[in-house]
Each structure stands twice: as structure tokens, then as C-alpha cells.
Amino acid sequence: MQMTHNKLKNWLLPVLLIMSTSTLFSQGLWQIRQVTNQAQNHAMDNNQNFSPDDAWIVYDTRPDEGGIGENAVIEKVNVATGKTKVIYKTKNADKFGPGVGAVSYHPTENEVVFIHGLPPTSQENPYAMHRRLGKIVNESTKKSYWMDSRDVSAPFTAGALRGGTHRHQWSGDGDWLGYTYNDALMFDLEEKTGNTYNLRTVGVSARNIKSPKVSASTGENFQGEWYSVLVVKVVPNPQPGSEEISKAYSDWWVGQNGYQKPNGSWQRARAFLGDLVTSKGEKLTEVFVVDVPEDITVEGTEGPLAGTSTTMPMPPAGATVRRLTFTEGDKYPGVTTEFRHWVTSSMDGAFLSYLAKDKNGIDQVFIIPVNGGAPKQVSFHSTPVQSTVRWHPKTREFAYVCNDQIFVNTIDEKMNPGKANAISPEFGKRTYAINYSNDGKKIAFNQEVESHVQIFVAERP
């Protein structure tokens, strides 16, 4: 991915202008209002929930936090009026599935993508991590289609996967989707043998590379539209002290357009958390980046893209993994894992953010350069940070939750933080799933009100 000097200059100029005023705009409490009121849940799930024009917020109506398999509806709410509209509803839904949820808006088009369990479902074949795909709905044309293909019939098909894709995230140009993945064949093999095969990893799909045809000989195969691969190799028993990964997860696109390498070229990439084993035999979670090649159809050195009956699909040529954090010797090694959070990226792809413990054992925000270097602590609270960090879409401003309160801050090119500004009162209740609007003027978040999850919006004064 190349970017000319003039294009780069034109892209950076408005960013720098906005950055110079971002601190001014971040002062004081923002205007907060409740957007949804219905006696149901409205789960945003740490996704890209604002429509391209910021007029709508998309969500699912799962009955509880882990209840995607029991949810049948994808909806959206108008930010200004509170009017809701159904975008998609499954057929023949019951307690076994198929289940839909974790929905995200395309950055520029009137499209959404979400998890969809495999229909039909039954007690024997319910919604599960290894039995789900990405479904795309185009609201303008009213058409929907499977994003990724699924082929669980040997000899399998390169460009199709074999199980469950989860929490689909659009790239900045909308032509790629990234996700976590669990494999159905490896799930079955683990059930049969009692050995560890069912491992989570990271995959991507490309809109502009057409999915191959898959056999329709089984009802477990599904024909999708996008070419799909896994980009991180995982192993069940990493060698102690090595950089072998047993689980890759909590992944995020690096920047809106990738990151700029030291040689000036631009590279599409996915950041993620990876589980290792230390030299002492202990689990350790660190921050990684995997470069995603533009051509994902070329087989790599680890094995076939399609996988085999006893091995996972393997990454394409050029999918290069780099470890960014090295915390084994720290007082509190590793990334925070006591609660689920995602590694996230600044809009320009220069920095990643994640949570880790400070010298006092308190979860704080840390920043690290994508090209490598020492991490820097940029939050200094007396109580733990409670959420994934989310970044402003045009500046190096970021937001997070601490003490049931939303904070925003900025960093400069050397990762030096400004002052952390509270933009909300202390709510005294769980505040989560924060996400910026596309213009950066609003932050949406979830809170429970009278036993139902509702959507709130904080707007800059």
C-alpha cells in the first residue's frame, strides 16, 4: 500500500489542524442524554456503531451479555429522535439459535456486518463459537449475504474458512474485515481425542478478492462473497520462552490506513493480544502486530491456506507477526486479562493502546509505537481503568472509563500525555462499550437502566 507525498500531505494537514485544537474541545463536562428507552437491551459490544453520517447507532438486542445465540434482531436508533428501526431479523429463532449480534457500520456506506449463527439450529447443533459467520446487510438495496465462505468438507477450499468468525471490524477503507476465529474441525478433533486443538486466532477477509465456490454437499457449508484467511499461526503448547502463540485475540486494525514503516511505505496490519508461555512455564499475554499482505491468496510456508483434517488453516505469504511488548521481567508482567479489553490503534496507525498494571498493581492505559519501542504509561489514576481505549477518528485524542466516569486525553508525537479530562460525572454504575462518532463530536456508551441495557450519548459542548 503506497501513498504519494502530496496525498500524505493533504491527509495530514487537516489532522494536524484538528490536533492543535483537540485539547480545547476536550475541556469540561459534555452534554449527556439517554438515546434508547425501550424495555429491552441495546448492546453495542465495543464496535463501530455510528452510521457514516452519525445519524444512527446500530446495536443488537441480546438478552444478556453472552446471549448472542438467543438474539434474533439487529436494530438501529436515531441519535436525534430516539426512533428505532429493525435492520435484520432471523427466521425460526429459538433458544438454540441461530443468533445474531456484535454489529458494526461500514465507515462510508450504508452497510452493516454482524455475527450470524449457522441456520438451521437444534439442540444438537446450537449457536457456538465454531458455528457462525459474518452477515452483511446493505440497507440501501435491502439485500443481505454471507461475508465469509465456510467449507468443512475435505479437501477444503483456500479462501474459505471452517468454523466461526466473530466480532467483525471494518478497515478504514471498508474493503477489508478483521475478526477472531474458532475452527469447527479443530473443535471436533479436541472432543474426539481429548487433546488441545480448539484454539482462537485472528483472520481477515477481502471484499475485492472473490471467494471461491464451495461444495454444497453438506448443510454445514455456506457460500460467502469475500476471500478469507487466517493471519496468525497458533499452537496448543508453545515452547517455554519462545514467541509461539497459543491464542490470538482482542484484535484491531492498525490505523485507518495502516501504519507507515520507517522506509516511508504504508502497511495494512492487525494488532492483537497473544498468549505465550514464559521460560518458567507461566502464561503471559503480550501485544503483537501482524502485517496483512494485499494479496492474501498466496500460500505461506506454514501450510495450506485451507488447512487439513488435523491442522488449522495457515497464514498467507507475507503475514508477518511482530511482538511489541516484552514484560516478562516486570513486577506485573503481561497485559491486563482480569477483564476483556481490546488493543486499539490511533487513527494514524502510529501508536497502539492497551491496559496493563502500573508499579502499584493498578490497571492503566499504556501506549506503544507500532514500529517498536518502549511503552509509556499515559494514565495515572488511583483506581483501575475499566474499559477498552477508544481513539478519536481524526486526532490523537483517546477516551476510556475509570471509576465509572468517562475521561479523554491526548498524546503528542513522543507519546507524552496531556491532562486527563473527565467529560462525565461519576455515574456510580458500570459504563462501557464507549465509541466515538465519525466526526469525533460524540461518544456513545452503554449503561443498565432498570434491568435493561440502554444507549447514551455524550456530546462536546
List the 351-357 sheet strands across, edge first: 344-345, 351-357, 363-369, 376-377
Strand extents, DSSP E, 358-441: 363-369, 376-377, 390-391, 397-402, 405-410, 421-422, 432-436
- Distances in Å between the Cα of 130 and the Cα atoms of 126, 181, 185 are 10, 8, 9
Is the pLDDT assigned to residue 10 strictly greater than 70?
Answer: no
Q: Is the pLDDT of residue 16 over 60?
A: no
pLDDT at position 43 is 98
Cβ distance 270 to 258 under 8 Å? no
Q: Which three cell numbers stand for residue 299?
A: 500460500
Percentage of the chain surpassing pLDDT 70? 94
Under the banding of pLDDT at 50, 70 and 90, the label for residue 183 is very high
Question: If you average pLDDT over residues 2-21, what whole number do you get?
Answer: 40
Taking a C-beta distance cutoff of 8 angstroms, is the pair 93, 67 a contact?
no
**CA distances from residue 30 to 48, 80, 432, 448, 453 in whole angstroms, order as listed:** 21, 16, 17, 20, 21
pLDDT at 2 over 90: no
In this predicted structure, what is the pLDDT of residue 28? 85
Report the pLDDT value the prediction gives residue 219, as an integer from 0 to 100. Answer: 80
pTM of the model as a whole: 0.92
At residue 216, the pLDDT reads 77
The per-residue pLDDT for 5 is: 40
pLDDT tens digits for range 438-459: 999 999 999 999 999 999 999 9
User: For 75-111, what is each residue's pLDDT tens digit?
Assistant: 999 999 999 999 999 998 999 999 999 999 999 999 9
Inter-residue contact 290 to 233 (CB < 8 Å): no
pLDDT tens, 244-299?
Answer: 999 999 999 999 999 999 999 999 999 999 999 999 999 999 999 999 999 999 99
pLDDT, residue 1, reads: 45
pLDDT of residue 27: 57
Bigger pLDDT: 216 or 310?
310
φ, ψ of residue 144 in degrees (nearest 5): -135, 155
Q: What is the mean pLDDT of residues 301-326?
A: 98
| Average confidence score pLDDT of the chain | 94
Q: Is the pLDDT of residue 357 over 60?
A: yes
Which of 270, 274, 271, 272 lies closest to 244, judged by CA? 274
